[in-house]
Structures are given as structure tokens and as C-alpha cells.
Structure 1
């Protein structure tokens, strides 16, 4: 059992979950031509919090995460206790006073992941004045449970690299559709909470692993995304060819750490080469941030789950609190600079407080 750390920002946190259907897009993962794409999207937002109210559940249906446990080579029971875990957010809390609108971030999860997999980072960002919408991508997620009880389970074809590559543009449309839905929500939230509280002129996107690919592809396709944060993944071929126009940050590791984790040399070369190719082609601001000692899973909530993650060598040798501290500091600084217009000294060069970090910046 564990507790999520208390976020460092001044805002309390509320959360709401929405079920949206895109009538314009067929569901490509099923064989039924009448199926349309459906999404579950959880929104975290700055809120007025009553300390006496119960905190929201982290994961209501941990049984849906069994495919993720298998992907991580962990026992399926490891996610069972998550149903007892609460987060810092409160369901349907009133939105915070003060600022009339808050910048918006969309979050995309990794292959076989789930929308809550970066809750520690989401809550940190929200506590500093962002609204974050995290998408469950059905069939690319471990398991998505819809309100009527239907479950979209991980499609094992997503283990095939060629199949995944062909689905990146489709998954990127999930992010664009979510952005469109947020526009509708901003006009009239059926919950009566978020109406006119989303600043859709200042929108960013971020994601880990597959979610990083989806984020980059969404930014290639949709200029309304004004800032792109990619965590630890190679870039889609279309993004490598066309490049990105938005300010972009890559958070990753060095080749030696990837080797220690057991990545193949081919995957290491592709990850670092394609990220760097897009970084070096940026017409504007870019940041290439490597954290030696971090394993892929250290960017997610997984280090909290169990001592097994360390004993089994799933997490890296870096201290977990330091890994999360570095990730949240650079993520917040990046979005604060490019969505809020703040100077953010941390992004000007190597930081004394984080001597472990290998930092490169690109400025026009």
C-alpha cells in the first residue's frame, strides 16, 4: 500500500471522468464496421478542496490491468491492491477561484498502459494551475472499462512494431478529438464545473512511450497544440521526415542506462537517433534532457506500486524520488515557459540542483 506524494503547488485538485464517442471515426481495432471510436477521458483540474471529503480512487478496476502486468513481466496480482489506493484529487470538487481560465494539457499513456499511469506528474502539474485531460486509448490500453460495463482489452497486435507504427496517426486523432471535445465542454460542462474554465488558446500535450509517439504525431497534425513533451520513445517516421514546429522537450536516458535496462542496441539507436533528429530540426525552442540511471518505468507511477519493481530490476538505480523530482521540475518549467510565458531559469542550461541531468537546449 502506498500514498501519492502531496503536490507542491498552491491549488487543490478535482477530477471528473467523461465517456465520449466520435461518430466520424470507425473503430479500427474491431471487426464490426458499425463500431465507432469511444474514449474514456479523465480530467484533473485546480479546485477548492474540502479536507473532510474523501479522496478519489486511483484505479477502480485493477483487474483490467492484467495485460500490463504481463508486458512488464510482473505477476498479475501486483495491481490488485490498487483498488484501495486513493489520490490527492476529490471527485467533482468545485473549480478553484482566482484565475478565470487555466491552460490545458492532454496526456497520452504508454502501450498497454492506462490513463492514470502518470498520476504523480498529472497532480503536480494541476497543483500549479493546469487542467490535464488523460486519455484511455481503447485496445492500446491495458483495459478500458466503459460506463455500461463493456471492456476494451489490450489488442496483442500492438506487440508488433509494424502494426503499432500503422496505428500512430489513428491514436493521434484520439488526442485531436479530445481537444475538440474539450472545446464543447468549455462551452457547457454537463457537470456544471468546467464551463468557461479551460484556456484553449494555451494547450500542450505529453506522453510516455507510445504516448510520446502519439503526442509528437498529434503535434505534427494539429497546430493548436502549442507545446510537446515526449518521454523516452523513438519518433514516428512522419515526424522525423516533417519535423515539429512547436517547442518540444524530450525526457529520456543515456545509451548506457538503456543497455543496463536490457534494451536492444537497435532500439537504443533508433530511440536516441530519431529523437535527436527531430530536436536538431526544430525551428524554435527545443530541450533534450537525459537522466542517467532512470529506467523506462521510472517515468510512471510504477515505482510506487511494490518493492517487487526494484527487486525484479524493473526500476533503475536512480533514487525514485529524485527521478520523479527531476521529471516534474523539467516538465513544469517547460510548460510554464511555453504556455504561461514565464522565464524559467531551469531551461537556460545545466542546473546546479540537478548535476545528474545531461541537458541540451536549442534556441532560435
Structure 2
């Protein structure tokens, strides 16, 4: 599964969100895919918490509202200029900053549940009250750090990559997670507006697969422009962030989940400032050209079901052949499309059954995603050799190195 929004994947997305937020008290009654789940109440909901970051730094966070006046929004032209919400996570001085930041707003949580038909089953507060480990307005740690641009899956809020963003920040990276306007189930803006997923509507309305792929390519290339603009606003002469001096503009990576992974490659194709990229379980909707990515490193990290050599998604086979720099193609046994997001860990913490289509535990899902993404970035942005990336490791038997 590469997107999770088309009608053919609705059951899987439904099951994933039930596992994410359903109260632990009713775990024994969880439905199978396609079965109407039993109603629950907010009173039985379990408070959830993201996994602790593993690096030596405390983590600060700040949210930016950026407006690109040079572009009209591609999905809702009447809205005017392209708007983005960006969550920054960065290495911080211990003991500084306010109370731990919320995972997402209640309205964003509600809309994510509405998109999946769960608004009367799962309380939005089960998500909005989830505790993160980042503190708003914390003072940055001394030094300059590489920048990682993160793009979420199609229809997914940027919050779904929070545990990865926090962990990378704790290891010495500034991370910019982007909500792309009208491409998420719900994006809250500072003035009170909440943008919903017009791009999802366009995808679902596509009359055939060719038209749907055209929509998804438009998403991928549009996000490349978004990420380039974010890079401009963080590293340009008049940066949008007060602490932009902590970013080392000479060391930049793009990474993403699902279509956000495709956008990472599209960003590298469009912007030579991006030094490395990671695609987490996303079809490449913009074809990598025969000339490759200019010898820049790229890692593909995905599910065996969707992205092993010989499976239906030929874009990884084609992309692999054209990648012309350092490259790795890793698949994770027993994983699912949402393995590379916060979903499995939150489900496990709530004491819920493991998704039978993706039995890898939430703890291992988080460990593997964090470990391999950080190893890739450490090697290519910090120059620290990572033997973990040389081949299979006994400590990570689920990770398969593909060399087609």
C-alpha cells in the first residue's frame, strides 16, 4: 500500500486508525477489516505517549505558518497563495521551554477520524491529548546542525511523523515537518481556519488509475516546490525562524512517508541544495530520470509486501536502476504501510492487538525506523561511517537488504 486513501485501501486505513486510538478497555472487541467497530466512549480512553527520544539532546519545538506568495494553491486556486504549516524540532538546552507540546489539535484529530468514518467511535481527545517530548520555545543547544525536511503520507497530518522528528532532533538535527495545504485530513491555521484534503477528493474522483497517478504526481512535484520554499525560508537571507542560525545550510536531507517519500526524490530532482533523501514505503510518482540524482545518496525503506523486488510496484525496481549514487533498498519483514509512522507504537502502548496484516510490534517499528533513518543521515550528513548500512545485522533480523 502506498497511499492509503483510495477506496480499495479503506479497510486497511480503518483498521490502522482503530488500532491507533481505540480504548484499551474494548481491545477484545476490535473488528476485522471491513467490520463495523463497536462504539466506545471517551471515558474509557487510555492516555497515550510517544516513545522517548534516544539521543543526548533535549528537544525543542516551534510551529511556523509560511505563505508562498509566488504560487497559487494548486488544489484550491480561490484560496490564493500557497500556505504551509511547519513543525520544527531541534536540539535544545535542557530545562528550557514550556510544557510538553500537544500531538495535534483536537479539530485536526477529529477530522482525521472523520476521514476514516470513526468520529462516533474514537474520541478525538485520544489523539489530541497524546503527550510528546518536545518543549515549545526551548532555547536551542549550542552549535549548528543539519536540516531534515519531512513530508507525511497523502492525507496524513505532519503529526504522524512526530516520534521520528523528535528522535532526530535529540540526535543533533533540526527537523522541519510540513503539512502541505489541502493535502491533509485537517490542517489548523493560526487564524482559526482548518484546511481539509481537497487533493484527496481529486484522487478519489479520478476516473481511472492513469488519472489517479496524474493527481499523485502533481502532489509529489508540488511538495517538492513546498519543501524548496521551506528551505528558502529557513536558510535564506531573511529566515522565518528566529533560531535559523542553528541550521547548517550545507547539510540538508529530504525524507518522507508514502507519497512524502516520493516527494523527497522529487525535491532532490528539483533542488541541488538537498544532499540526501529517504523514501519510506512510497511509490515514486515522479520518475527518476536516466541521469539519476546527481550522485547523491538515497535510501528506500519499505514493506516486503509492497516493495520487494518483483512485487507489483515497479517504481522501486525502475528507480533503483536509475539511482546513480550511494543507495540502499531495505525492506522490513512483517511490516505494514504505517510501520514507519507513530501508529503502531501508539496502538501497542494502548494495549491493543497487533494488526494481523503487519505483526511487527510497535516498539520494533519505531526502533527500526529511527535506527536506519538516523544511520543514513549520520553517514551522509555528518560523515560518520555506519556499518549498520553495510549489510544484515543480527540485532535487526527483520531488515532485509535487497540487491536486485
Fold match by TM threshold 0.5: yes
CA displacement at 1:197 relative to structure 2: 0.9
Q: 1:189 to 1:240 in 2, by over 3 A?
A: closer
Q: Residue 262 of structure 1 aligns with which residue? A: none
Encode CA deviations 1:156-193: one digit per residue, 9 max, x unaligned.
11334232223321221001111101113x75566x4x
2:270 aligns with one of 202, 213, 221: 221
Q: Which structure is richer in relative contact order (CA contacts within 8 A, separation 6 or more)?
A: 2
Question: Distance between the aligned counterparts of 1:52 and 1:174, measured in 2?
Answer: 29
Corresponding position: 1:116 with 2:155: no
Q: 1:29 to 1:286 in 2, by over 3 A?
A: same
1:153 aligns with one of 184, 188, 196: 196
Q: Residue 298 of structure 2 aligns with which residue? A: 248
CA displacement at 1:73 relative to structure 2: 6.0
Corresponding position: 1:236 with 2:285: yes
Q: Residue 127 of structure 2 aligns with which residue? A: 82
CA displacement at 1:240 relative to structure 2: 5.4
Q: Secondary structure at the match of 2:158?
A: coil
Name structure 1 gaps, 5 residues minimum.
260-265
Encode CA deviations 1:292-320: one digit per residue, 9 max, x unaligned.
10111121111244469965948611111
Question: Distance between the aligned counterparts of 1:127 and 1:340, measured in 2?
Answer: 15
1:177 aligns with one of 229, 233, 252: 229
Is the 1:216–1:230 contact (alpha carbons within 8 Å) kept by the matching residues of 2?
Answer: yes
Q: 1:315 to 1:321 in 2, by over 3 A?
A: farther
CA displacement at 1:52 relative to structure 2: 9.0
Is the 2:344–2:365 contact (alpha carbons within 8 Å) kept by the matching residues of 1?
Answer: no
Is the 1:285–1:361 contact (alpha carbons within 8 Å) kept by the matching residues of 2?
Answer: no
What TM-score, normalized by structure 1, do the two folds share?
Answer: 0.87
Encode CA deviations 1:211-238: one digit per residue, 9 max, x unaligned.
1111111111111111100010111243
CA displacement at 1:281 relative to structure 2: 2.1
Encode CA deviations 1:15-70: one digit per residue, 9 max, x unaligned.
011111111101121142x70101111100000121795211111x2322445335
Is the 2:98–2:136 contact (alpha carbons within 8 Å) kept by the matching residues of 1?
Answer: no
Q: 1:199 to 1:361 in 2, by over 3 A?
A: farther
Corresponding position: 1:15 with 2:61: yes
Structure-to-structure mapping, 1:1-364, within 5 angstroms: 1-32=47-78, 35-50=80-95, 53-59=98-104, 61-69=105-113, 74-75=118-119, 77-97=122-142, 100-155=143-198, 156-159=201-204, 160=206, 161=212, 162-184=214-236, 192=242, 194-239=243-288, 243-245=292-294, 246-255=296-305, 268-270=311-313, 273-306=314-347, 311=353, 313=355, 316-360=358-402
Is the 2:92–2:141 contact (alpha carbons within 8 Å) kept by the matching residues of 1?
Answer: yes
Q: 1:314 to 1:149 in 2, by over 3 A?
A: farther
Is the 1:254–1:292 contact (alpha carbons within 8 Å) kept by the matching residues of 2?
Answer: yes
Name structure 2 gaps, 5 residues minimum.
1-46, 207-211
Q: 1:315 to 1:197 in 2, by over 3 A?
A: farther
Higher mean alpha-carbon deviation, 300-309 vs 286-295, is at 300-309
